[in-house]
Structure 1
Amino acid sequence: MNAPTTSSGEETVPRSVRAAAGWSWRLLLIAAAVAGVLWLLAVLKTIVVPVAIALLLTVLLAPARRTLERWHVRRGLATAIAVVGLIVLVGALITLAGRSIVGGFQDLADQAVAGFEQFTTWLAEGPLSLDSKQISEYGQQLQDSAVAGSGLVSGALGAATTVGHVLVGALIALFCTIFFLLDGRSIWTWLVNLLPVGAREPVHQAGRRGLVTLSAYVRTQILVAFVDAVGIGVGSAFFVPALALPIGVLVFIGSFVPIIGAIVTGAIATAVVLVANGWVAALIMLGIVLLVQQAESHILQPFLMGHAVSLHPVAVVLVVAAGSLAAGIVGALFAVPVAAVLNTVLLYLHGHDKFPELGTEDHLPLLRRRPQLPGTLLWSGRSTSRGDAPGDTAGPRDGAAAAPAPDAGNPGENR
């Protein structure tokens, strides 16, 4: 008589439990990896933030540099003109409007606080007759959240809040911007050639598309912020002319935080008009704010963005909230462009190309198979002392054509 066979462990555990366990440890591993990356970014924040700003400035200045090159200006000179031109423009704006902005922001803050206090008084004593104690508690909670938010900002920026680190960050951003504009193609080539051979071409093509998305986001966001600032600033000029410029500047800055920034800055503008001119003027100002923001969100953004940044508004709100919780204002500013680029890259790597017009003819150039020579540039693919390229273990066996890589400022330039 044969002895009864015993079931193995896998046979006794239900299939659904095994699947749930498999998903669980994988999700835990992914969460640990994400947490490790965020921790590393926090440690290197003084470097990471300037480099991210430099990348955004590169995307912004690349069209100007390419225009100058089409006018037969050498790339080095074109880069210098673009960077110096931006610095001069920003300096001129600060010089012209700085005194008015510095003097007006204190009045703006005082009147905004007074406006919100007047609004809470109306909530307690007006037709709604809300509990004044609850309103005070909610106001205190908002104040505590603001204090906590400032702590998050200081935690995100860390030592960069000191003058020395701010200067270091500015120098890093300026230095990286210059070299991203001047030699971004070679830097990208060197980075991608560090990857395994089979991953290089897909990552290269995904990077081209990600940079198109980033370019569309940066340029559209600047134009949208400018339109919001002009519309709301002109509207507030009818009621508080002395504070119109500070309100416009505040709206311009706040518009870089999608959705949330527009709501907050619009509320501040309405509160200021409420204190200065009463309820009727405040309601008119609220109508102007809503009109500008609705025109921007339903006409301007869809027309300009198109399919470049395809993020649902719910995803935008959640991403901004997560970014602000993780790194304060810095996280809120960079959350949406990072999410948009990741969305484009991951879609391409999974077979969904948002930019089929870019094609795949622009292959990644491979670094030549040659030992590193003294005096060679690490990533440039050329030597400072001889015309040879630094070594690479891949060599020509990959079969990829050595066509020019896309420029850092315009991935689709060599379509």
Structure 2
Amino acid sequence: MVEPVSTRTEPTARSPSPLESRRFRRVLMVLLALLVVGWVVWSVRGALVPFAVGAVIAYLLAPLVAAFEQVIPFRSRSPGLCRTLAILLSYGVAGGLLALAGLLLFPPLIRQSTEFIQSIPDYVEAANNQIFQWLDRYQATVPPQIQTQIESSLSSLGSVAIAAIRTALMTTFSAVGAAIGFFSAVVLLPFWLFYVLKDERQGWQWFYNLWPEGWREDVRTIVAITDRTLSAYIRGQLLLGVVIGLATGIAMAVIGMTQPIVLGLIAGVLELIPILGPILTFIIIALVALATEPSKLLWVGVAFIIIQQLENNLLVPRIHGHVVQMNPALVMLLIVIGGALWGVVGMIVIVPLAAICRDVFRYLYHRLGDEPA
């Protein structure tokens, strides 16, 4: 009996279709373009600092522009003109508030800042003298064995802190460069900001169109998650800086400290650095108190305890809400990591960046699972 001959052929590897080849080449082109753009941006990062600040300003002004746009009566007939007018009105409001603040605060701020800078050497010398007096009392009253244990513990802690601060400062200063490009960017910033706000919708539409059709809904969701976390954090942190700066300035004026406006400004700016900012503020103001009137140091400490209780128990829960939701120990670790990577800027941006990555990861984790995202 003759067995039938099998006519089945072995499967051969399928060659890619022309459409797949074109898509693959397009992906390679996009990746190459991203690498080139990333290299250029990184090379001139010092000159792009004003545009980074402008991006934050545009992000903060966007809701105000949208609010003005909604109340302009001819927005449906002339949307372009309506958008332009809304931007100009937002410029006027922001400029008016800055001018009012300048008229009220700039004269005393400039005077007190000049006095503060000129007094820094005297403050340092007086604070050193006061600290040496305390050290003499410490050495005269504390037994030598206990002194050895305390000093070894403080030495280990201090070396770690100094190393972290040195790394942060070196990273920060190494990122500064391209002075000519920096000043030209400052001159162009108002015009750049206008066009960013004017073409915001077209820019987002162009960005969404870059993605495949099946991905766009997920990309929109990720952008919405990022916008929710970032906007809440930035506006909340700026509001915290204003409130804490005002509270600190008023408290220092009541206590009778010199240059209370400058001290309040320092507190408001350092408030942008989570957890570490208030500590640095207290150290600076404590040194000023030691240099001027050491008897007021106790009242400075009481004022900071009250302000921190106000911030932690009333302001932070209401302003940030459930945006960050991070344990303070994790926030401290992130601040050290951000400082080691990107200096002072890293200490400021690392917490919202980590919160955004966490929320996006949660969304994608559920999106790729069986349960609905």
Instruction: Confirm whether residue 324 of structure 1 aligns to residue 339 of structure 2.
Output: yes
Residue number in structure 2 paired with 1:203: 219
1:297 to 1:190, Cα distance in 2 relative to 1, 3 A: same
Residue number in structure 1 paired with 2:54: 54
Q: 2-side partners of 1:106 and 1:140: how far apart?
A: 28
Instruction: Confirm whether residue 274 of structure 1 aligns to residue 285 of structure 2.
Output: no
SS at match of 2:176: helix
* 1:12-411 to 2 correspondences below 5 Å: 42-46=42-46, 49-72=49-72, 74-90=82-98, 93-94=101-102, 95-107=106-118, 109-110=120-121, 113-114=124-125, 116-118=127-129, 120-122=131-133, 124-127=135-138, 130=147, 149-159=168-178, 162=179, 164-171=180-187, 173-278=189-294, 280-351=295-366
SS at match of 1:351: helix
Q: Contact (CA 8 Å) 2:164, 2:339: kept in 1 or not?
A: no
1:142 to 1:168, Cα distance in 2 relative to 1, 3 A: farther
Shift of 1:127: 3.4
Q: 1-side partners of 2:38 and 2:274: how far apart?
A: 22
Q: Contact (CA 8 Å) 1:108, 1:243: kept in 2 or not?
A: no
Q: Contact (CA 8 Å) 1:111, 1:271: kept in 2 or not?
A: no
Shift of 1:87: 4.3
Shift of 1:103: 0.8
Q: 1-side partners of 2:323 and 2:173: how far apart?
A: 33
Shift of 1:76: 1.0
Higher mean alpha-carbon deviation, 334-343 vs 87-96, is at 87-96
CA deviation profile, 1:186-238 (whole Å, cap 9, x unmatched): 21221122123322210111101211111111111111111211121111113
Q: 2-side partners of 1:177 and 1:256: how far apart?
A: 23
Residue number in structure 2 paired with 1:17: none
Structure 1 vs Structure 2 CA RMSD: 3.5
CA deviation profile, 1:101-128 (whole Å, cap 9, x unmatched): 4313315634653465246425522336
Paired-residue identity, % = 25
SS at match of 2:87: helix
Q: Contact (CA 8 Å) 1:236, 1:269: kept in 2 or not?
A: no
Give the TM-score normalised by the residue count of structure 1: 0.65
Q: Contact (CA 8 Å) 1:50, 1:173: kept in 2 or not?
A: yes
Q: 2-side partners of 1:309 and 1:225: how far apart?
A: 17
Shift of 1:320: 2.1
Give the TM-score normalised by the residue count of structure 2: 0.72
Q: 1-side partners of 2:122 and 2:366: how far apart?
A: 53
Q: Contact (CA 8 Å) 1:83, 1:178: kept in 2 or not?
A: no
Tell me which structure has the larger Cα radius of gyration: 2
Q: Contact (CA 8 Å) 1:104, 1:246: kept in 2 or not?
A: no
1:137 to 1:312, Cα distance in 2 relative to 1, 3 A: closer
